[in-house]
């Protein structure tokens, strides 16, 4: 079991790692907001709890999911869709926290996507062993808007492929406080997350949270 020292991340350089023409990882971009973001996740999950959804193919996702913002992404045996109501509670998804909205807009502006107005945020919770198989984010209709993805907690290896599922994929570590941005010509590239290793983050514990903000239409 690896325990991650706080020292490393608090001194991590705020560098930009290019992944493509219009895809980037902003290292440490969310670090100053991490505490507020974790508090916001706690408030979201009190209203709309994390749950393991079913895929249309009949599998149960190893990643636990909830949402905030006007629209929430869901999957069940019938397919994927965005809904205004949480099917678990019958109520609207919790509102998008201000801190998340501001962070996403500034990450987008920083990487060449001015005036990003997200209306959906998926909140993913990974435990060691959880993974996300290669996929494209294509349930939205607004492909001109980028996707902003915030990582908190234990590290993960992100897989960033091409436009075909079989294209070779780069392996990129995503750590606490990193923000990834995909848009433009890179908006529909296949990507996924390798099974997480056992680890404990000093603030978050043995989980990774990933917040992905989008514009649905
Ligand atoms: C994750 N992220 O990092 C899963 N999608 O846990 C995604 O599936 C994702 O990070 C589109 C753009 C960025 C992402
Ligand atoms: Fe995705």
Answer yes or no: are the C-beta atoms of 107 and 211 closer than 8 Å.
Answer: no
Q: Which ligand is closest in space to the CA of residue 139? A: 2
pLDDT at 1 over 70: no
Q: Whose CA is nearest to atom 12 of ligand 1?
A: 147
67 pocket-lining for ligand 1 (C-beta < 6 Å):
no
Instruction: Extract the tokens encoding 196.
Output: 């997480």
Q: What are the pLDDT digits (tens) for 166-211?
A: 999 999 999 999 999 999 999 999 999 999 999 999 999 999 999 9
Tell me which of 3-7, 32-36, 126-130 is least confident: 3-7
pTM: 0.94
Question: Residue 160: beta bridge partners?
Answer: 170, 191
Helix (H, G, I), strand (E, B) or coil at 179: strand
Instruction: Extract the tokens encoding 185.
Output: 């010509």
191 pocket-lining for ligand 1 (C-beta < 6 Å):
yes
Mean pLDDT confidence for 73-91: 96
Mean pLDDT confidence for 39-47: 98
Mean pLDDT confidence for 25-42: 98
Helix (H, G, I), strand (E, B) or coil at 142: coil
pLDDT band at 14 (very low <50, low <70, confident <90, very high): confident
Q: Could you tell me which of 50, 140, 43 has the C-alpha nearest to residue 100? A: 43
107 pocket-lining for ligand 1 (C-beta < 6 Å):
no
Mean pLDDT confidence for 79-88: 97
Place of tokens 């294209």: 167
Query: What's the pLDDT at 142?
Result: 85
Answer yes or no: are the C-beta atoms of 92 and 120 closer than 8 Å.
Answer: no
Q: Could you tell me which of 124, 136, 131, 129 has the C-alpha nearest to residue 161? A: 136
Mean pLDDT confidence for 8-15: 66
Query: What's the pLDDT at 125?
Result: 98
Q: Whose CA is nearest to atom 13 of ligand 1?
A: 149
Fold of 16-214: Jelly Rolls (2.60.120)
End-to-end CA distance of the chain: 43
Mean pLDDT confidence for 67-80: 96
> In which element (H, E) is residue 80 found?
strand 79-83
> In which element (H, E) is residue 126 found?
strand 120-126
Q: Cα of 104 to ligand 2 centre, how many Å? A: 16
Q: Hey, where are the domains in the chain?
A: 16-214
22 pocket-lining for ligand 1 (C-beta < 6 Å):
no
149 pocket-lining for ligand 1 (C-beta < 6 Å):
yes
Query: What's the pLDDT at 11?
Result: 53
Instruction: Extract the tokens encoding 179.
Output: 């923000």
Q: What are the pLDDT digits (tens) for 88-112?
A: 999 999 999 999 999 999 999 999 9
pLDDT band at 2 (very low <50, low <70, confident <90, very high): low
Mean pLDDT confidence for 114-141: 96
């Amino acid at each position: 079991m690896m325990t991650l020292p706080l020292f490393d991340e608090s001194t991590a350089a705020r560098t930009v790692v290019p992944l493509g023409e219009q895809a980037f990882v902003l290292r440490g971009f969310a670090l100053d907001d991490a505490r507020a973001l974790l508090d916001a996740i706690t408030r979201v999950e009190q209203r709309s709890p994390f749950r393991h959804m079913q895929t249309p193919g009949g599998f149960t996702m190893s990643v636990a999911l909830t949402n905030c913002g006007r629209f929430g992404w869901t999957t069940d045996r019938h397919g994927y869709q965005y809904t205004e109501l949480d099917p678990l509670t019958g109520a609207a998804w919790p509102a998008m926290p201000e801190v998340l909205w501001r962070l996403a807009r500034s990450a987008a502006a920083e990487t060449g996507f001015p005036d990003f107005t997200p209306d959906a945020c998926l909140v993913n919770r990974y435990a060691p062993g959880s993974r996300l198989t290669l996929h494209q984010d294509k349930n939205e209709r607004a492909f001109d808007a980028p996707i902003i993805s915030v990582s908190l907690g234990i590290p993960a290896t992100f897989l960033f492929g091409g436009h075909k599922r079989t294209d070779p994929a780069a392996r990129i570590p995503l750590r606490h406080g990193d923000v990834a941005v995909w848009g433009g010509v890179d908006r529909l590239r296949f990507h996924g997350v390798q099974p997480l290793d056992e680890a404990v983050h000093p603030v978050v514990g043995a989980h990774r949270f990933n917040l992905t903000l989008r514009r649905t239409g």
